[in-house]
Structure 1
Amino acid sequence: MTSPLSSAGIQLEGRVAIVTGGSRGIGAGIARMLLAQGAEVAICGRNAPEELPEAEGRRARFWPCDVRDAEAVAGFVDAVGAALGRIDILVNNAGGAPAAEAATVSPRFHEKIMALNLMAPIHMSQAVHRWMMRNEGGGSIVNIASVSATRPSPGTAVYGAAKAGLLGLTRSLAAEWGPRIRVNAIVVGLVDSGGDALPYGGVAARDAIAASLPAGRLGAPDDIAAATLYLSSDMAAYVSGAALEVHGGGERPLFLDLVERHAQG
């Protein structure tokens, strides 16, 4: 898929971006988009990836970091700032959760999900704050949230709760840190992030879900990357505290299927 804003004229030369979880899937797509527009990009993870995101002959730099560990995050952010001279953009992308029954899963499991999806963005945002405040133009934080934050999320209840908390954090930090630092969120819909594993239960289920969306397809990493690029750029200079929904028009409400089924009966 062609990058939607690959030639849109948004330029990020001289800016430094951190993308958590930037080695694969949506995070790698975001890293490539920012690289293509001129930014220096730092990514992090617990283990170094086999390949680093690259675009336009430029490559992301990797630092090892467990984003759930506040001390490790502080050290990582300071290392990036020292090596690259500044930090302008933070994309809190790392996250996710396997399906689990809320009634029976262990408290430790829930704590880990909250740590990755909510506490990690808090740690990262705190750590970049003083670096962004040094910049003449301040900085931009983009939190990658989910439709699970805005509708029921059975099977991933605590993930949904964490992402809902991330939306609340976005609004509060935007109010507290503005005007120097803008903070926004992207509410991500159903995305086929690539790789060997088929999303959403296999080919038939994936295709049926895609056909049910107003956009007629699942999202792609570049769709989320394009929204991230916009929110990170000067084009969004008056956008803060926003939750930008990137979900192809949203999921079809279940009650409409029930209405149609009973009307036919």
Structure 2
Amino acid sequence: MIASNLSDADICLDGRVAIVTGGTRGIGAAIARDLLAAGAEVVVCGRSQPDGLPRAGDRTARFLPCDVRKHEEVAGFVDAVGREFGRIDILVNNAGGSPAVDAATVSPRFHEAIVALNLTGPVHLSQAVTSWMRGGRDAGSIVNIASVSAIRPSPGTAVYGAAKAGLLGLTRSLAAEWGPDIRVNAIVVGLVETDGEVEAYGSEAARAAIAAALPARRMGRPEDIAKGVVFLCSPMARYISGATLEIHGGGEKPLFLDQVERLGGL
């Protein structure tokens, strides 16, 4: 028998304080729940008070309002969390997204808002937490939630894809600049089913066809992403920084393979 060096302490986040942006619904809420379950105190933020908050057992996330696109709100939000808990150990830059638009005709103001939400906001949040994370007993952990749109063409959401690609570059650069006090990693998120996502794919049949085309034969679930976040924030990942974890069920099959198969090839 081979002895294992793993222990409960390797996945325990007791005493840690975590911020999850956009943590009131969807993937963000799943991340908040799993961090709570691992023992962390969790603060989520959004532009307005949600109807409910993420829970795990008898523990509930705290909510503070913050528009991550506005640096002055970000500074006040992070300072309020740090003052209340006396520390900040984890930041998950999860807030993001974009509706589909025509890149040629949409307004410059729209593009600026998408960049602010998906790239500039994470920059400001990461800056704001550094003073709380440096000098602690354990390294702080920042996890940036990116997208497959960052690593393949993203027609209809071109600026979103560009902003997420920038987030991957930011991850590598901050990891190099802020180590060893702060570890910075990213997760590339694939196609994920959340509430209301059937409409996003046009129909249940279209969603099922997309799921069947993935190597995992299903689309992702919010908890799949949450498990990756907990791992990257845990002591098990203490030597992981500047890395990109792809959680996409094996990725999307190249388009040319569909054409080859349709024409009687492979």
TM-score, normalized by the shorter chain, greater than 0.5: yes
Which residue of structure 2 lines up, in the alignment, with residue 3 of structure 1?
none
Which residue of structure 1 lines up, in the alignment, with residue 171 of structure 2?
170
CA contact (8 A) 2:198 2:207 kept: no
* 1:175, distance to aligned residue in structure 2 (A): 0.1
Q: Please tell me whether residue 99 in structure 1 is matched to residue 94 in structure 2.
A: no
Counterpart residue type for residue 214 of structure 2:
L
Which residue of structure 2 lines up, in the alignment, with residue 155 of structure 1?
156
CA contact (8 A) 1:45 1:65 kept: yes
How many Å separate the matches in 2 of 1:56 and 1:196?
27
How many Å separate the matches in 1 of 2:115 and 2:9?
37
Which residue of structure 1 lines up, in the alignment, with residue 253 of structure 2?
252
| Secondary structure at the counterpart of residue 120 of structure 1 | helix
* 1:201, distance to aligned residue in structure 2 (A): 1.8
* 1:138, distance to aligned residue in structure 2 (A): 2.5
Q: Please tell me whether residue 179 in structure 1 is matched to residue 180 in structure 2.
A: yes
* 1:261, distance to aligned residue in structure 2 (A): 1.8
Which residue of structure 2 lines up, in the alignment, with residue 132 of structure 1?
133
* 1:196, distance to aligned residue in structure 2 (A): 7.2
Counterpart residue type for residue 150 of structure 1:
I
Which residue of structure 2 lines up, in the alignment, with residue 71 of structure 1?
72
CA contact (8 A) 2:21 2:28 kept: yes
| Secondary structure at the counterpart of residue 238 of structure 1 | coil
Q: Please tell me whether residue 110 in structure 1 is matched to residue 111 in structure 2.
A: yes
Counterpart residue type for residue 215 of structure 2:
P
Which residue of structure 2 lines up, in the alignment, with residue 61 of structure 1?
62
Runs of 4+ with deviation above 4 angstroms: none
Structure 1: unaligned runs, 5 residues or longer:
1-6
How many Å separate the matches in 2 of 1:252 and 1:57?
42
How large is the Cα RMSD of the aligned pairs?
1.4
Q: Please tell me whether residue 228 in structure 1 is matched to residue 199 in structure 2.
A: no
State the Cα deviation string for residues 174-208 of structure 1 (Å, max 9, x = none): 00000110000000000002247544222011100
Q: TM-score, normalised by structure 1?
A: 0.95
Percent of residue pairs bearing the same amino acid type? 71
CA contact (8 A) 1:33 1:226 kept: yes
CA contact (8 A) 2:10 2:235 kept: no
CA contact (8 A) 1:52 1:61 kept: yes
| Secondary structure at the counterpart of residue 159 of structure 1 | helix
* 1:32, distance to aligned residue in structure 2 (A): 0.1
Q: TM-score, normalised by structure 2?
A: 0.94
Counterpart residue type for residue 130 of structure 1:
S
